[in-house]
Homo-oligomer: A and B are copies of this chain.
Amino acid sequence: MAAQLFDGQALAKAMRKEIDAEIAAFKEEYHITPTIAVVRAGEDPASVSYAGAIQRSFEARGLGFQMHALPEDISEADFLAQVTRLNQDSAIHGIMIQEPIPKGIRSEVITEALSPLKDIDGVHPVNAGRLAQAAPTGRPPEVFDFFVPATPAGGLEILKRYNIPIAGQHAVIVGRSRIVGKPMALLLLRENATVTLCHSRTRDLAAICRQADIICAAVGQPRLIRAEMVRPGAAVIDFGVNFVDDKMVGDVDFDGVQAVAGWITPVPGGTGPMTNIMLLRNVLEAARRQLSS
């Protein structure tokens, strides 16, 4: 095996210690328990399971967790009213709306109803726009504080904690979702990477990927990125979560690519545990920002 592992599990464990200390200090100083409210309509099994994972990690850290499970046939107006109540509830610091949004409810209505200050998953256009507009890291940001979706924020954190050079490097992002691909591109651009965004319409994906110092895969296709698409020594971040024969696999063909890459995230145990940590961190940060607002 050539590649070194980006051990998301170990990194998350180390970061939990840091965040535990931050949480303890915050609670001691302000007597406030940073609290997330998760909102869902219906009982999609993946969403139920994800909410459970969030609950466990928040409660394990002494953070607050509220689940608001709405009926699947809720009206847009009632869904909206629930979001508004949570916006106004000063005991709630972060709000996450789980997908899928039931048919008949416009997701943009719900998303834009969120208070940007409590939008700890960075889905409100104001947060997406501030990220898009922010100056490169190290310069004055030129925008108000914003939240970044937890998954790409976790990917960037892995690169930084492992001291992977980013400035001046060529990063290729495969996938252009609003929650991973595009924010990851904007985050790496802020870090002064040259960034290429690829997707289903890209011609000769292999040739473009081979130029990458950093490859980020977030496309939802099992093992799309193969060894021959990777430059020797490249850092590979796999955001993919796919199930093949009941086995969780990423968007990267791990067995093949690990022989070529310099660094690679395993799936599971790579970007996944980091997403959870970044969400914790965003809720603590939201509570901090709400002190002064």
Known: A129-B126, A129-B128, A129-B130. A192 touches B197 (CB 8 A): no
Cβ of A83 within 8 Å of any chain B Cβ, yes or no, is no
- Which of these, B107, B129, B182, B186, contacts A125 with CB under 8 Å? B129
B residues within 8 A CB of A245?
Answer: none
Candidate in A108, A144, A201, A203 with the most chain B CB atoms within 10 angstroms: A201
Known: A125-B130, A127-B129, A129-B132. A194 touches B186 (CB 8 A): no
Give min CB distance, A197 to chain B, whole Å.
5
Cβ of A178 within 8 Å of any chain B Cβ, yes or no, is yes
Docked CA distance A124–B169 (Å) = 30
Question: Do B192 and A195 have beta carbons less than 8 Å apart?
Answer: no
Give min CB distance, A114 to chain B, whole Å.
12
Q: Majority SS of interface residues in chain A?
A: mixed
Known: A143-B108, A196-B194. A124 touches B132 (CB 8 A): no
A-B CB proximity, top 3 nearest: A129-B129, A125-B129, A128-B129
**Interface positions of A (Cβ within 8 A of B):** 107-108, 112, 124-133, 142-144, 167-170, 176, 178, 182, 185-186, 189, 192, 194-199, 201-203, 208
B residues within 8 A CB of A129?
Answer: 124-132
Give min CB distance, A129 to chain B, whole Å.
3
Docked CA distance A202–B60 (Å) = 43
Candidate in A108, A129, A195, A197 with the most chain B CB atoms within 10 angstroms: A129
Known: A125-B125, A126-B125, A176-B189. A202 touches B132 (CB 8 A): no
Docked CA distance A192–B198 (Å) = 9
Closest residue of chain B to A130 (Cβ to Cβ) is B125
Docked CA distance A197–B203 (Å) = 17
Question: Do A201 and B194 have beta carbons less than 8 Å apart?
Answer: yes
- Which of these, B144, B182, B195, contacts A108 with CB under 8 Å? B144
Docked CA distance A202–B195 (Å) = 9
Known: A144-B112, A178-B133. A201 touches B196 (CB 8 A): no
Give min CB distance, A89 to chain B, whole Å.
24
- Which of these, B127, B168, B178, B208, contacts A202 with CB under 8 Å? B168
Question: Do A201 and B197 have beta carbons less than 8 Å apart?
Answer: no
Closest residue of chain B to A200 (Cβ to Cβ) is B192
A-B contact sample (7 more), CB < 8 A, given A128-B130, A131-B132: A108-B143, A125-B133, A128-B133, A133-B178, A182-B186, A194-B197, A194-B199
Docked CA distance A196–B208 (Å) = 10
14 residue pairs of the A-B complex, CB under 8 angstroms, read A108-B143, A124-B129, A125-B132, A126-B129, A127-B129, A129-B132, A132-B132, A142-B178, A168-B203, A169-B203, A170-B203, A170-B208, A182-B186, A192-B199
- Which of these, B124, B126, B131, B195, contacts A197 with CB under 8 Å? B195
Known: A126-B126, A129-B128. A203 touches B194 (CB 8 A): yes
